[in-house]
């Protein structure tokens, strides 16, 4: 199936799948909140929370490029059914352990890892399928809808999770995730997911590593993306550990509980929704990368203020979290638009997953270091350092030609007939 022969009922088919996935994402966010809070209450250790975050992100860092290549080869509907079912099965096992009072920290780590592996495959399959299920003219709207959904769930899921924590046992919250996973799997059993038409060079061997290498080479020859990836690794090393340790900031610094943690996460989600709607209405600067850099500076300022707020200033912390969240889509949205506009469609899956893996490569190290340092110096140090680095990198980037001119660089590469065009995938 191609864009030219999409069925007339494409919207009903796509949004039936999309709605099931939205319910599943909501259940997953409830489980994530419950497990993080259980670890916080059980151990009270920043190191344990940092390790949990690291376990959850390792699959994305190390498997992303290979997952993108595999999803290009495999049946995407089956990938989504299997991964959703696997995630639900692991949740059932953990719920049983919780009900018997036998759940331990190691069990939570194992389930987080398996859920993360499944999530990497599922995200890649869904993203790669969308362009073959939705007409080109509606892809931007669907992308905006996805961002709005993520922001809305970040508003709703944390306080709902906090409320459920007070009225249900942990295994009851986990059972909700199993039900929402079924809502995602059932539509996939009846609705087909189109497969791409894969082209292959004459005599080219079918090699997973070759597929991955094509994506890496594409990125390497784009100087602007190389520079952005270097920035992203530095920022992810310094800024993301602070968010992983948010429960410790809430309990130790502000002296609050699960409900306030939910409010803090909801403030970020509201900011994401507001920022996404603002970007949709405004559209950003003509040179899209300038919008990204402005958002990066703003996000750094928001995180820095969050680290400076005194114990009695929880309301100001909510405002800072909202502002940082609003800057997030303004930072990331234009970059995705640049890549979607410039990268050959048959390479986008691998390019996106490879960029995600490289950008996240320093996050496990930063998170591993953050836990012991926060136990030693306090958790606020990571918000102070992360916010300052983020804002400074954004300001400096305005004066780096490789970043400011990245759209022109790619246009030149495409016009010159380099790797940017004419790339053919292996089977």
Domain locations along the chain: 8-193+206-415
Rounded-to-integer distance, Cα 264 and Cα 269, Å: 9
Q: What is the pLDDT of residue 417?
A: 39
Confidence at residue 117, expressed as pLDDT on a 0 to 100 scale: 86
For residue 343, what pLDDT is reported?
64
Each residue's pLDDT, cut to its tens digit, for the chain (427 residues) gives 444 466 677 778 888 888 888 888 888 888 888 888 888 888 877 778 777 877 877 787 777 777 777 777 777 888 888 888 888 888 888 888 888 888 888 888 888 888 888 888 887 787 777 767 777 666 656 666 776 777 778 778 877 887 888 787 888 888 888 888 888 888 888 887 777 655 544 444 457 677 777 777 777 777 777 787 788 888 878 777 778 778 888 888 888 887 788 788 888 888 888 887 787 777 678 787 888 899 999 999 999 999 899 988 899 999 999 999 999 888 887 777 677 566 665 666 667 777 777 777 777 777 777 777 777 777 888 889 889 988 998 899 899 888 888 777 554 444 333 333 322 222 2
Topology annotation, domain 8-193+206-415: Growth Hormone; Chain: A; (1.20.1250)
Distance CA 16, CA 238 (A): 39
Model pLDDT, residue 413: 42
């Amino acid at each position: 199936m191609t864009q030219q022969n999409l069925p007339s009922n494409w919207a009903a088919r796509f949004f039936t799948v999309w709605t099931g996935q939205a319910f599943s994402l909501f259940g997953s966010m409830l489980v994530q909140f419950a497990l993080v809070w259980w670890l916080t209450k059980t151990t009270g250790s920043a190191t344990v929370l940092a390790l949990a975050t690291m376990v959850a992100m390792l699959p994305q860092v190390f498997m992303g490029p290979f997952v993108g290549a595999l999803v290009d080869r495999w049946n995407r509907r089956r990938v989504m059914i299997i991964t959703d079912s696997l995630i639900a099965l692991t949740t059932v096992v953990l719920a049983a352990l919780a009900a018997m009072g036998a759940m331990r920290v190691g069990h939570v780590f194992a389930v987080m890892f398996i859920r993360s592996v499944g999530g990497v495959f599922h995200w890649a399959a869904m993203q790669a399928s969308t362009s073959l299920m939705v007409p080109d003219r509606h892809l931007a709207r669907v992308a905006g809808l996805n961002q709005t959904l993520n922001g809305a769930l970040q508003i709703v899921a944390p306080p709902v999770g906090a409320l459920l924590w007070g009225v249900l046992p942990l295994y009851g919250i986990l059972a909700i995730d199993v039900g929402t996973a079924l809502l995602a799997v059932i539509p996939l059993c009846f609705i087909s997911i189109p497969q791409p038409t894969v082209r292959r060079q004459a005599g080219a061997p079918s090699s997973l590593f070759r597929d991955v290498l094509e994506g890496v080479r594409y990125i390497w020859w784009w100087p602007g993306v190389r520079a952005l990836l270097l920035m992203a690794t530095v920022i992810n090393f310094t800024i993301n550990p602070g968010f992983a340790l948010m429960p410790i900031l809430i309990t130790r610094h502000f002296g609050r509980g699960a409900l306030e943690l939910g409010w803090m996460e909801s403030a970020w989600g509201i900011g994401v929704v507001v920022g996404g709607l603002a970007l949709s209405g405004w559209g950003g600067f003509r040179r899209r990368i300038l919008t990204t850099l402005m958002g990066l500076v703003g996000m750094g300022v928001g995180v820095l203020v969050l680290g400076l707020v005194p114990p009695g200033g929880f309301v100001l912390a909510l405002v800072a979290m909202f502002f940082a969240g609003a800057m997030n889509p303004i930072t990331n949205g234009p970059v995705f638009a640049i890549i979607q506009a410039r990268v050959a469609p048959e390479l986008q899956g691998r390019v996106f997953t490879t960029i995600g893996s490289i950008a996240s490569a320093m996050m496990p190290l930063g998170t591993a270091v953050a836990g012991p340092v926060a136990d030693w110096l306090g958790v606020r140090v990571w918000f102070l350092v992360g916010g300052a680095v983020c804002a400074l990198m954004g300001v400096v980037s305005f004066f780096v030609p490789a970043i400011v001119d990245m759209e022109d660089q790619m246009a030149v590469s495409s016009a010159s007939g380099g790797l940017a065009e004419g790339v053919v995938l292996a089977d």
